[in-house]
Structure 1
Amino acid sequence: MISVNDIVAIGGVLVGVIGGIFGLAPYLNKRNINVDKVLNTTEQVLTAAEPLIKISETFPALKPAGSLIDWMEQKAKAGVKAAEQLYHSGILQTDEDRFKAAQNTVYAALKEINVEPTMNQKKLISDFIQEAVNDLGHAIPTETEKNAQIQKVQQDLAEVQKENEKLKQKLANIQNTVTPVQKADTAAGGNVS
């Protein structure tokens, strides 16, 4: 957001530049100073400095605190997305694991720019992570994910069916063992009262 002070400063610079062009340039020409050469040199310096200015704008440590907060929010979103990918690949198992992974992403980014997060910043990071998780929503699984889920369910079903067959076999073995004992007991007059 542009504040009133910024607008006043920009206005002052514009008045100065316009005044310089219309007032100073004719004066300097009368004094035999090559204004075109000075302006060209100034333009070249500004053109050369522009990439450095653009790069400096990307460093959060050089920006005001509000920009650092915006930057932390962006890193929280990136951390949530990375944690979600790790969850889908099976590396992370619980929601707590995903939260800690996203949090570690933001803390690692802050460490890279030599910022030790305060308690307030840690609270904001946690809130940003929660917000990013809510923004993820419940995405409809892709066809690949659906096919993987179907394949897993089919594998689980096959395992359960095998286990069921084993249990049936054990039950049949137990019944085959118990039935001859019962017949032998009955044939021997096994009514014991």
Structure 2
Amino acid sequence: MINVNDIVAVGGVLVGVIGGIYGLVPYLKKKNINTEKVLDTTGDVLKATEPLIQVAKTIPSLKPAATLVDWIEQKAVAGVKAAEQLAHAGSLQTNEEKFKSAQETVYAALKEINITPTENQKKLIDDFIQEAVNDLGHAPVSEAEKNAQIAKINQDLAAVQAENTQLKQTIASIQSTAGSAAAQ
């Protein structure tokens, strides 16, 4: 990814080249030097830098702090999603554990880019995590839904118990038939 320093370096080279054209060419003409060859080379250089200029135009001109805040928000969302997955896997049980896991994700990402979060950034991290959790859309299960789930589980349990009883009778029947056949 191209960063601002690269864009500034390319811009500096372009300014130098253009400045050289307007300052150096008239001087060289006075000294009877073939400036056409120099201009052709300069044209080739400008053509070669055109793709870099086009890429530089697509990069938004945000302040580094605004970019960092957006980046922190993205990492908070990623941390919340990762914590939710860990909770589904059974690694995290409480909301506090999930929140702590999401925070650790953001802090680890900041550490990777050598940034120690300020108190304001820590507050933003906590707020972004809360926002991402709210965006998950979890709603508590209503009493009616709980009762319906309990009724379904009880039905499944009764069916399994009836099947179990039937299997026990079948096994007993097979054992008695096998015992009668062995006795003869």
Tell me the TM-score normalized by structure 1.
0.49
Shift of 1:41: 2.4
Give the partner amino acid of 1:39: G
User: Are residue 83 (structure 1) and residue 78 (structure 2) matched?
Assistant: no
Q: Distance in 2 between matches of 1:71 and 1:106?
A: 10
Q: Deviations over 1:75-117 (max 9, x none)?
A: 0010011111111121111111111110000000011111111
Paired residue for 1:93?
93
- Distance in 1 (CA, whole Å) between partners of 2:131 and 2:27 is 59
SS of equivalent to 1:76: helix
The reply to whether residue 125 of structure 1 matches residue 125 of structure 2 is: yes
Structure with the greater alpha carbon radius of gyration: 1
1:8-47 maps to which residues of 2 (within 5 A)?
32-33=34-35, 34-44=38-48, 46=49
Give 1:109's aligned residue.
109
Give 2:43's aligned amino acid: L
Q: Between Structure 1 and Structure 2, how many residues are aligned?
A: 122
Residue identity in the other structure for 1:37: T
For residue 75 of structure 2, give the secondary structure of its aligned residue in structure 1.
Answer: helix
Secondary structure at the counterpart of residue 93 of structure 2: coil
Alpha-carbon distance between aligned partners in 1 of 2:27 and 2:40, rounded to the nearest angstrom: 10
> C-alpha distance in 1, partners of 2:130/2:105?
14
Look up the equivalent residue of 2:34 and give its one-letter code.
Answer: N
User: Conserved in 2, the CA contact under 8 Å of 1:76 and 1:132?
Assistant: yes
Describe the shift of the 1:28–1:94 C-alpha distance in structure 2 as closer, same or farther (beyond 3 A): farther
Moved over 4 A (4+): 23-31
- Residues 149-168 of structure 1 mapped to structure 2, 5 A cutoff: 154=153, 158=157
**Structure 1: distance between partners of 2:99 and 2:82:** 11
Q: Normalized against structure 2, the TM-score is what?
A: 0.52
Q: Which amino acid aligns with 1:121?
A: Q
The 2-side partners of 1:43 and 1:29 are apart by: 23
Paired-residue identity, %: 54
State the superposition RMSD in angstroms.
4.0
Matched, 1:134 2:138: no
Shift of residue 40 of structure 1? 0.9
Corresponding letter in the other structure for 1:32: N
Q: 1:29 to 1:154 in 2, by over 3 A?
A: farther
Alpha-carbon distance in 1 for matches of 2:68, 2:102 = 17
Letter in 1 for 2:67: S
Amino acid at match of 1:36: D
